[in-house]
Structure 1
Amino acid sequence: MSRTAGTLGCVPESPPSNARPTHPLSVAEALRFTAARARETTFFFDFDGVLSPVTDDPDASQPVPSVLGVLEQLAARVARVAIVSARPVSFLRSRFESLEHVDLYGLYGLEVWHDGDVVTEPAALPWVPAMADLAERAKAELPEAILVEYKRLSVALHYRTAPQLAPQVERWGHEQAERLGLRIQGGRMVVELKPPVDQDKGMVISEGVLNAGCAWYFGDDMSDIKAFDALRAREAVDPRFFGMCVAVANPETGAEVSSAADLTLESPEAVAGFLADALPAFAP
């Protein structure tokens, strides 16, 4: 069962146990165990709804101002910090260009930014023309109130400003997926069509923790539950690995995501505050 975080307070200074803690556990205990393994720990974050408030216009989304400095400080104290998002890497770069030591996974991992280079999943590249055509078709066939977000390797249909159109958007999306052989990814007031390529947040996390001793994942949407599951699966096969699943509350998918998490924070601003409060637990 997940819990909602309050103030962190002081992290106990007693020596960490060598035994992996069991869920559920206190925030202080989780941080103490993580800090003792900082150099083998990865922190993963979704973007929308976690580092940035969700907006009616996806292009207007910006990270919470205080989170930029916190992420950079955290990246200097743990093995790795990464953002895993449905957004393209180009968008993420525009929001986090000041961060030098944070890896970016765009489009559920179809794109990866690491050490100054972008790598695109080769199996997805042939679908670029189909996605461009699909975006134009969506703009022509769906009501004007539906915001069509073209991401090169996927198309997202946002109905946040017209929730009454959800059934129409979902029906149209499933028809196009069947017609073109695409996959559907549901989310917070959005239907997204993706290439039929095996890649999702769970797969990103499964690969990302292979050599890790500890990992935290912060998410707010249904696609993030696969990332939570990846941490649980790693714990099941590696007795020394510890995973912490953190949900960010929201009125649309919050209950389902929180029920799968160890800890729930109230907002992206609360995420930034939580990380700032946690930093002293990690030696610079």
Structure 2
Amino acid sequence: METARPTHPLSPAEAWRFTADHAAEAAFFFDFDGVLSPVTDDPDASQPTPSALGVLEELAGVVAKVAIVSARPVSFLRTRFAALSHVDLYGLYGLEVWHEGEVITEPAALPWVPTMADLAQRARTELPAGTLVEYKRLSVALHYRTAPQLGDVVDRWANDQAERVGLRVQGGRMVAELKPPVDQDKGMVITEGIRNAGCAWYFGDDMSDLKAFDALRARAAVDPAFFGMCVAVANPETGAEVSTAADLTLESPDAVAAFLAEGLRGFRPAR
């Protein structure tokens, strides 16, 4: 008997029950920093929580799709998730994709590589000490987590450079990121990723994840058979706004892994 699509608000148990009944057409998407890994002062030090890898692999064995959608480059994500054989990696908000052993880069972003290299060098020279410059080939992230008093200076510099060169600025948790003027964001990744899904979950913690939430809601609005679940992970910086937009809030990356492990108990054995 077909399970009726649940309506919001609903309990986690109801959401898991519907998902388990529709596992063959279910998709799960996760941000990395703040969702699968605690946020760290040094971005290069971030690692998935110890229980995340196993639970993601188990999840990938019972649903149609599991993917990580991050501002990190695919090269970084591969070093953290190399052990996972059935998880897709979307890097730089979807400008890069790792799928079935191949990296696919958005062609429109490639001409901006020299610009980003120049901007990274400018940032290291012109921004005050305490700013951490993360060069990602197709974008540059300017972190001020260890010096929050620099936030206004960093944001102003990023916006000035974006206007000068013709880039876009993505704000986040103690970071301003300069991106190519290419139409690609997490919402677009999710819109495409759920095209053939009947059920989808997205786990996020930052402002860029709101577009992913919107993508799930937009699909549900036009497809009565589709069910989407937006999950926020709490944080002291952008948590209130993200939680307000979500159906459910979890307290930490460890809680995400535990929540997935609990939900997986209701699934049939792996196909």
- TM-score (normalizing by structure 1): 0.94
Instruction: Work out whether 1:131 is the aligned partner of 2:110.
Output: no
Q: How many aligned residue pairs are there?
A: 269
Q: Give distance in 1, aligned partners of 2:262 and 2:5.
A: 23
Partner of 2:58: 73
Q: Paired residue for 1:222, among 204, 207, 212?
A: 207
Secondary structure of 1:65's aligned partner: coil
Q: 1:267 aligns with which of 252, 258, 268?
A: 252
Instruction: Establish whether residue 64 from structure 1 lines up as the match of residue 49 from structure 2.
Output: yes
**Identity percentage of aligned residues:** 80
Could you list the per-position Cα deviations for residues 239-275 of structure 1 after superposition, in whole angstroms to 9, with x for gaps in the alignment? 1000000000000000000000000000000001111
CA positional deviation for 1:144: 1.8
Map of 2:132 onto structure 1:
147
The residue matched to 2:265 in structure 1 has which SS?
Answer: helix
Listed as ranges, the gaps of 5+ residues in structure 2 are none
State the distance in 2 between where 1:65 and 1:151 align. Answer: 25
Runs (4+) off by over 6 Å? none
Cα distance in structure 2, aligned partners of 1:189 and 1:270 = 23
- Of 99, 114, 118, the residue aligned with 2:99 is 114
SS at match of 1:55: coil
Q: Distance in 2 between matches of 1:126 and 1:147?
A: 24
Distance 2:108 2:101 in 1: 22
- The CA distance in 2 between the partners of 1:30 and 1:274, in whole Å, is 12
The 3-state SS of whatever aligns with 1:217 is strand
Q: How far apart, in 2, do the equivalents of 1:147 and 1:281 lie?
A: 44
Equivalent residues in 2 for 1:1-284, closer than 5 Å = 18-284=3-269
Helix, strand or coil at the partner of 2:169: strand
Unaligned runs of 5+ in 1: 1-14
- Output the CA distance in 2 between the equivalents of 1:91 and 1:219: 19
Query: Partners in 1 of 2:49 and 2:165 — Cα distance?
Result: 38
CA contact (8 A) 2:3 2:21 kept: no
What is the DSSP-based 3-state SS (H/G/I as helix, E as strand, rest coil) of the residue aligned with 2:80? helix
Offset from partner CA, 1:214-258 (integer Å, 9 cap, x none): 000000000000000000000011110000000000000000000
Q: CA deviation at 1:278?
A: 1.0
Q: Which amino acid aligns with 2:206?
A: D
Task: Note the alpha carbon deviations across 1:17-58, whole angstroms, 9 max, x for none.
Answer: 632111000111100011000010000000000000000000
